[in-house]
Amino acid sequence: MDVTFAGAAHEVTGSCHLVRVNGRTLALDCGMFQGKRSESREKNARLPAPVESLDAVILSHAHIDHAGRLPFLVREGYANRIWATPATRDLSAIMLADSAHIQEKDAEFLARRQKAVAEPLYGLRHAARTIELMTGIPYDTPFEPIPGVRATFIEAGHILGSASVVLDCTEGGVTRRLVFSGDIGRAGLPIIRDPVPPKGAHTVIMESTYGNRDHEPVESARARLAEVIKITAARGGRILIPAFAVGRTQEIIYELHILTREGGIPAIPVYIDSPLAIDTTSVFEMHPDLFDATEDLVQRVTELFKFVPVIYTRDAQESKALNSARGPMIIIAASGMMEAGRILHHLAHGASDPRNTILVVGFQAEHTLGRRIVERQPILKIFGDEVPLRAQVEVISGYSAHADRAELTKWLDDVRAQSPDLERVHLVHGEPEAQTALTASLEAKGYNVDAPAFGAVRPL
Ligand SMILES: [Zn+2]
Ligand SMILES: [Zn+2]
């Protein structure tokens, strides 16, 4: 029994780990490598293992860095089951279709530039077939993906449907428990339940994205959000919130709902300007059983995402019409890192007006327009035009869906407290600096830790 690290090794994307038991192979995640286009293209086109050797896939959550290569696997002939929670399955349907669309656009772009045929990694039909192979299994309900392995999803508190995966692997009369953390969320995130640390582990594979950083507390984020809205509205400006359509947008809508009911913000229109966000909101509404029942709004209100003054704009013409609208308003649009999507035309129109605020609520990677805005560069390039950045820029890090250094350590401490036979911890899903820092601090607490390189094999 062993595990091969086939992705998210010394980096944060491309999550994929291959577990071998009784001569069969099970993949935990099959995510997309993201980053520089040329490098990731090559990495994505290489399968983690020959298709015929893969007997099952278990998916931790719907984010593209975990699910994004499944349609490619299917295109190459994978036809076995893919196990996921029901909400992950529903969110994957939206996200993989969107990803297929992006793959096709990317291939067109490459073909134009290189004047050669560039094939997309996969198309819409492969994304659709992937969803057909998915079996939805609720949390805390054991299932048998391959003979000798009993698997259970545990709440990871990261996005709707996100799970840690517990695998009880039996071979030759010996049973070992492997815990795969998936992406670990944070206690107190809006709507989403708190992460539940699994018990009884022998081996833990743990994410380490923010192994060297701490976030603002979740509790202070709402007050900051209210303050930014009040100040901007008083100036007569617009609040432009670039947000991922899946997850972050629903959390912000929920926060605005609380603030609206409390009278904490002025009654100005809130436009949710993203078809993908509208579809995702429908998936949220299909899974109210997964909302955090300890939260006041969840207990008291059924329509969490539909309230005055929220207006959903699906149509592109309605979106463009917002440019000529007057008065203060809030506009939430994708993409989160401002690289594509409707947020671009709102920025092209609004970034030069000093009354407006660009409110950043998510991570901004290097080489993105979002990062340049956070760095407050004086001139932005949008649709090929130069736009002076005169709007205010505010950043709230308290809505991060990833556990920070202290929260990762607490999660692992809780696992250890309930795992008398814990032997080792393998760090994945982190940049080398984050992993080095976290390794050192965990070793100081007596853990046996390593951060396996790509292709490394470890016994279970
Ligand atoms: Zn994630
Ligand atoms: Zn991830």
pLDDT digits (tens, 9 = 90+) for 232-279: 999 999 999 999 999 999 999 999 999 999 999 999 999 999 999 999
Length of the chain: 460
Ligand 1 centre from 118 Cα, in Å? 29
Residue 221's contacts (CB-CB under 8 Å, 6 or more residues apart) are 255, 396, 398, 399
Q: Give the chain's mean pLDDT.
A: 95
List pLDDT tens digits, range 104-152: 888 888 788 877 777 899 999 999 999 999 999 999 999 999 999 999 9
pLDDT of 296: 96
- Ligand 1 centroid–CA 160 distance in Å is 10
CA of 183 to the centre of ligand 1 (A): 5
65 alpha carbon, closest ligand: 2
Alpha helices by DSSP H, 45-85:
64-67, 70-75
Q: Which residues contact 351 (CB under 8 A, 6 or more apart)?
A: 358, 373, 380, 382, 387, 388, 389, 390, 391
Confidence at residue 118, expressed as pLDDT on a 0 to 100 scale = 77
Distance 293 CA to ligand 2 centre (A): 25
Tell me the C-alpha distance between 460 and 458, whole Å: 6
Q: Cα of 115 to ligand 2 centre, how many Å?
A: 34
Span 204-227, average pLDDT: 95
**Strand partners for 26:** 19, 56
Calculate how far, in angstroms, residue 146's C-alpha sits from the geometric centre of ligand 1: 25
CB atoms within 10 A of CB 227: 14
What's the pLDDT at 399? 94
* Contact by Cβ (8 Å): 391, 357: yes
**pLDDT score at 421:** 97
What pairs with residue 271 in β-bridges? Answer: 311, 331
**Looking at the predicted structure, is the pLDDT value of residue 219 above 90?**
no
- In angstroms, what is the span from residue 329 Cα to ligand 1's centroid? 30
Distance 107 CA to ligand 1 centre (A): 25
Give the distance (Å) from ligand 2 centre to CA of residue 58.
Answer: 15
Q: Report the percent of the chain where pLDDT is more than 70.
A: 100
| 343-366 average pLDDT score | 94
At residue 103, the pLDDT reads 87
Report which bound ligand comes closest to the CA of 16: 2
Distance CA 349, CA 345 (A): 6
Q: Where are the alpha helices (DSSP H) in 170-312?
A: 218-234, 248-262, 275-286, 296-300
The pLDDT score that the predictor gives to residue 108 is 86
Whole-number Å distance between alpha carbons of 401 and 181: 14
154 - beta bridge partners?
A: 164
Q: Please report which confidence band the pLDDT of residue 370 belongs to, taking 50, 70 and 90 as the band edges.
A: very high
- pLDDT category at 58 given cuts 50, 70, 90 is very high
Q: Which ligand is nearest to the CA of 428?
A: 2
Give the per-residue pLDDT at 102: 87
The residue-averaged pLDDT of 400-418 equals 97
For the whole model, what pTM was predicted? 0.94
C-alpha of residue 194 to centroid of ligand 1, in Å: 15
Distance in Å, CA 248 to ligand 2 centroid:
14
